[in-house]
Amino acid sequence: MTSAATLPVYEVLAFRFGRHAGRLARENFLFADDPCATDAPADYDFSFWVIRNDERVIVVDTGFRAETAALRGREQLRHPIAALGDLGIDPAQVSDLLVTHMHWDHTGHLDAFPGARVHLQEAELAFCAGRAMRHAAPRRPFEADDVNTAIRLLFEERLQLHQGPAEITPGIEVHPAPGHTPGLQVVRIHTRRGWVVLASDSAHLWANIRRRAPFPILDHLASMVDAYETVEALADGEDHIIPGHDPQVAFRFPELAGAPGWVRLHEPPIAPYVEPEHKPAEVRA
């Protein structure tokens, strides 16, 4: 891959488009005796991301459809594709769509970018279109319509399937980080503050990766914990790792002027990380 000294520099922007109201902290941790697995209210956000410079615009994940969210008890605060208009982005100008994994909250609008190459790990498509989907439990986080859209993009020769790490363009890479799903990939971006990693659901919350406290929806536990090490090795520091659903992202990073709700991940955080509330040791489950 290209030397860091000659790499382009990109802006990385995040937008919170949805939320899960009424969630409890214990829903975010696999083990009931984890000190963070309390009955305290725990905000849970849904975001997607834009990577851009003067030469290209790349979108990472597409959010969910409002009707799907309603069926699953989640709320869409803003249509993700409409939110791109706040940045002056026409979906037709997006060169690449990077799909971290095929869960319903990341793939609701795969067909919204008519000129984009769509990037996915081959292991992810094989899983969500394979024999595991005959069982209700593993298929629960997937939507058949989204999987069908991905297959249609494959037939249209717009879906590029990767088998491991890949350089999308100099300064933007994808790296497998399985565990949550078999083919989850994270996105590494060269910015002016160094390498930022969009961890997506390899780490739903900062607490998951910083505490080595896995999220309860997973395909393979050991792989999920291994993925924490992968992500940390790719990033230039713990605040360069951007989790997929942590509400702290929206206030820890500076907002983009003129585009309410969009925050600048290529800038250093403006607020410290807040550790979740802990259970006293004597009352741990």
Query: Is the pLDDT score of 282 beyond 60?
Result: no
Partners of 13 in beta bridges: 50, 264
Instruction: Supply the mean pLDDT for the chain.
Output: 96
User: What does DSSP say about strands 185-191 and 194-200: parallel, antiparallel, or unpaired?
Assistant: antiparallel
Averaged pLDDT, 75-98: 98
| 281 confidence band (pLDDT: 50, 70, 90) | low
Q: What tokens does 138 get?
A: 């593993």
In this predicted model, what pLDDT tens digit does every residue of 19-51 receive, in sequence order? 999 999 999 999 999 999 999 999 999 999 999
CB neighbours of 193 closer than 8 A, spacing ≥ 6?
Answer: 236, 240, 266, 267, 268
Contact status, residue 83 vs residue 261, Cβ threshold 8 Å: yes
Residue 17 domain flag? yes
Report the distance separating Cα 93 and Cα 190, nearest Å: 21
Task: List, for residues 187-215, the tens digit of each pLDDT value.
Answer: 999 999 999 999 999 999 999 999 999 99
Task: Show the domain range for 198.
Answer: 4-267
What is the pLDDT averaged over residues 131-146? Answer: 98
Domain annotation covers residue 40? yes
Domain presence at residue 174: yes
Arithmetic mean of pLDDT, 64-82: 97
C-alpha 221/C-alpha 214 separation (Å) is 8
194-200, strands of its sheet edge to edge: 166-169, 172-176, 185-191, 194-200, 241-243
Residue spans of alpha helices (H) in 104-143: 122-128, 136-139
Give how many domains the chain has, as a whole number: 1
Cβ neighbours for 12, distance < 8 A, ≥ 6 positions apart: 49, 50, 51, 189, 191, 196, 198, 242, 264, 265, 266
Task: Name residue, tokens 């069982």.
Answer: 135
In a domain, 73, yes or no: yes
The pLDDT of residue 278 is 86
174, 25 in Cβ contact below 8 A? Answer: no
Q: Which residues contact 267 (CB under 8 A, 6 or more apart)?
A: 193, 253, 254
282 is a domain residue: no
Q: Characterise 19 by phi-psi region: left (phi > 0), alpha (psi -120 to 50), beta (else).
A: beta
Q: Is residue 272 part of a domain?
A: no
Asked if the structure places residue 86 within a domain, the reply is yes
| Banded model confidence at residue 14, pLDDT cuts 50, 70, 90 | very high
What is the domain-level CATH number for residue 208? 3.60.15.10
- 116 vs 119: CA distance, rounded Å: 9
Token readout for 163 is: 């088998």
Structure-block tokens of residue 98 = 């990077």
Query: Is the per-residue pLDDT at 119 higher than 80?
Result: yes
Residue 80's nearest CA partner among 101, 58, 59, 102 is: 59
Question: Does 274 fall in a domain?
Answer: no
The predicted pLDDT at position 102 comes to: 99
Question: What is the predicted pLDDT for the residue at 228?
Answer: 98
Which pTM does this prediction carry?
A: 0.96
